[in-house]
Amino acid sequence: MPLPFELALALRYLRPKRTFVSIITLICIAGVMLGVAVLIIVISVMTGFDRQLRDQLIGFSAHLRIEQRGRPIADWRTLMQRISTDSRVRGVSPYIDVPVLIETESAGSNPTTFGTIIRGIDPVLENRTASFTNRIVEGDGRLTPKSVIVGYALADNRGIRVGDRIAVYSPAAFSRLKSAHDQARKAGKREPEELMLAEDYRVRGLADFGLNDLNANLIIASLADAQDLGGQSEGVQGLKVMLKNPDMAGTEAMQRNLQTRLGPAFNVVTWLQESRDFLNALATEKTVMFFILFFIVIVAAFGIMSALITFVVQKTREIGMLKALGASPMSVAFLFLSQSLIVGVMGVASGFVLGRVALAYRNEFLQLMNRLTGFNLFPPSIYQFRELPAQIVTSDVVIICSVSLLSCLIAGLVPAIRAAWLQPVEALRHE
């Protein structure tokens, strides 16, 4: 089927030649290509960053967190059973966070002392709310008595290796020391009897908890060991709840339902409430970046408009001959809109391909830039991830490509209208 003469003529005019207009056309295509590619890359990276951050937050902290106001949960097993009866709940697991002071005794490095958090978990119950076993990167990861799993970044910073022993100074140990001093004073003694202040723990494995803050500050121990360190007897600090439908995790309805069932003595917090400000900042930044970077496409559209206006001026004689032969103003306008459409389609298509290729090799390019510049352009301590995340969302790509193509078409309206209303007599007056 032959092409309409307007489209065929537009393609012929755009055929690469060693002319000023052809060079400008190629520059316009390159402008649209770069604008679309940059938009796809940036929006996909920011979307991937947001999605991966959400997955890591949910994966480690679960959807809901339940704590008793002002004190540990003593009868937590009964509470777990009550919560588990809800058909919307997939799993429940207990946890205890204990602030401790650690003294390393690793071979091959100087001993160091630092403060951190030990989280006590039940490995069997933990796998109902988070894939704990999949986070081990070195060692066997078994939480036997007096053993710990250390975040890989913390281990790297402090020179801790699998098999090392660490001394743990806990709040319970300091409380026992104070109590012993008080009792010695009352008994008229200057010093208390010998008291063990620190407890030795063996490092059984290193883990990647997903977020750099957790990897650099968290140690995992068994629930029983954490209870001893925190002096909480059989109680736990709280319960983590994982839902079958993740979309319900941030809803106030689910939170109110659990709050009503448990009563005012308990506090129910969703993962979204704990990270709302940070996630809202990411969403706002993504929107702002879209509008800022879209100006690249706007600049390319102005380039298309400038090129077509120049083209109309150069083709004034041909336009006059077309009209003299019976071409309607609509046909002439469609001729130049077709040029704008072809430039837009070529620019958007090439930008889409360039964006996909850049996203596929984003981490390799990042490593190359790190080597060339000598700087870490994506430090995990700031961005939380070791690699640059990205996720291509079809709706985002469709919006970027559609709006960019529409901008190119709008840019062709002014020269198309000018050419459409050009009178044949005026066009051929000097011929």
Q: How confident is the model at residue 189 (pLDDT cuts 50, 70, 90)?
A: low
Instruction: Give me the pLDDT at residue 11, please.
Output: 61
**Does residue 427 surpass a pLDDT of 60?**
no
Q: Which two tokens stand for residue 314?
A: 């150069």
Instruction: Give me the pLDDT at residue 186, please.
Output: 67
**Does residue 14 surpass a pLDDT of 70?**
no
Q: Are 96 and 226 in contact (CB under 8 A)?
A: yes
Residue 203 CA to residue 208 CA, distance in Å, equals 15
The residue-averaged pLDDT of 29-48 equals: 90
Specify the higher pLDDT residue, 220 or 377: 220
Helix segments in 361-393, DSSP class H: 362-373, 380-383
Task: Supply the DSSP symbol for 102.
Answer: E
* Residue-wise pLDDT tens digits, 393-418: 899 899 999 999 998 888 888 877 77
**Does residue 127 surpass a pLDDT of 90?**
no
Q: How confident is the model at residue 23 (pLDDT cuts 50, 70, 90)?
A: confident
Instruction: Give me the pLDDT at residue 401, please.
Output: 92
Residue 140 CA to residue 137 CA, distance in Å, equals 9
The answer to which of 169-183, 191-205, 221-235 has the lowest mean pLDDT is 169-183
Instruction: Give me the pLDDT at residue 6, please.
Output: 58
* Residue-wise pLDDT tens digits, 56-83: 777 677 788 888 888 888 888 888 888 8
Specify the higher pLDDT residue, 119 or 279: 119
How many helices and strands, by DSSP H and E, does the chain display? Answer: 18, 10
Residue 116 CA to residue 213 CA, distance in Å, equals 11
**Does residue 258 surpass a pLDDT of 80?**
yes
Q: Write the single-letter amino acid at 426.
A: E
**Does residue 19 surpass a pLDDT of 70?**
no
* Residue showing tokens 């119950």: 125
CA distances for 308 relative to 125, 282, 337, 395, 429, angstroms:
68, 39, 9, 31, 22
Would you give the distance in Å from CA 148 to the centre of its chain?
Answer: 29
Q: Write the single-letter amino acid at 385.
A: F
Helix (H/G/I), strand (E/B), else coil: 19:
coil
The residue-averaged pLDDT of 70-97 equals: 87
Q: Write phi, then psi, for 222 (nearest 5 degrees).
A: -70, 160
Half-sphere exposure of 167 (CA within 13 A, CB side): 11
Q: Are 405 and 348 in contact (CB under 8 A)?
A: yes
Specify the higher pLDDT residue, 140 or 188: 140
Q: Which of 260-274, 330-344, 378-392 has the highest mean pLDDT?
A: 260-274
Q: Write phi, then psi, for 130 (nearest 5 degrees).
A: -155, 150
The answer to which of 16-20, 268-272, 290-294 has the lowest mean pLDDT is 16-20
Residues in the chain: 431
Instruction: Give me the pLDDT at residue 398, please.
Output: 93
The residue-averaged pLDDT of 44-60 equals: 80
Residue 348 CA to residue 408 CA, distance in Å, equals 10
Q: How confident is the model at residue 209 (pLDDT cuts 50, 70, 90)?
A: confident
Q: Are 211 and 60 in contact (CB under 8 A)?
A: yes
Q: How confident is the model at residue 194 (pLDDT cuts 50, 70, 90)?
A: low
Specify the higher pLDDT residue, 119 or 260: 119
Instruction: Give me the pLDDT at residue 176, please.
Output: 67
The residue-averaged pLDDT of 184-206 equals: 71
Instruction: Give me the pLDDT at residue 302, please.
Output: 83
Summary mean pLDDT of the chain: 79
Q: Which two tokens stand for residue 78?
A: 């009964």
Residue 99 CA to residue 118 CA, distance in Å, equals 6
Specify the higher pLDDT residue, 349 or 196: 349
Instruction: Give me the pLDDT at residue 149, please.
Output: 92
Q: How confident is the model at residue 40 (pLDDT cuts 50, 70, 90)?
A: very high
* Residue-wise pLDDT tens digits, 305-335: 887 777 776 666 766 666 666 667 677 777 7
**Does residue 265 surpass a pLDDT of 60?**
yes
Helix (H/G/I), strand (E/B), else coil: 237:
coil
Q: Which of 55-64, 89-98, 334-343 has the highest mean pLDDT?
A: 89-98
This prediction has a pTM of 0.70
Which residue, among 61, 205, 232, has the nearest Cα to 143 in the 3D structure?
205
Q: Are 32 and 208 in contact (CB under 8 A)?
A: no
Residue 223 CA to residue 235 CA, distance in Å, equals 10
Instruction: Give me the pLDDT at residue 182, please.
Output: 64
* Residue-wise pLDDT tens digits, 101-116: 888 875 555 678 888 9
Q: Are 371 and 347 in contact (CB under 8 A)?
A: no
The residue-averaged pLDDT of 199-220 equals: 86
CA distances for 370 relative to 63, 355, 358, 367, 380, angstroms:
36, 21, 16, 5, 13
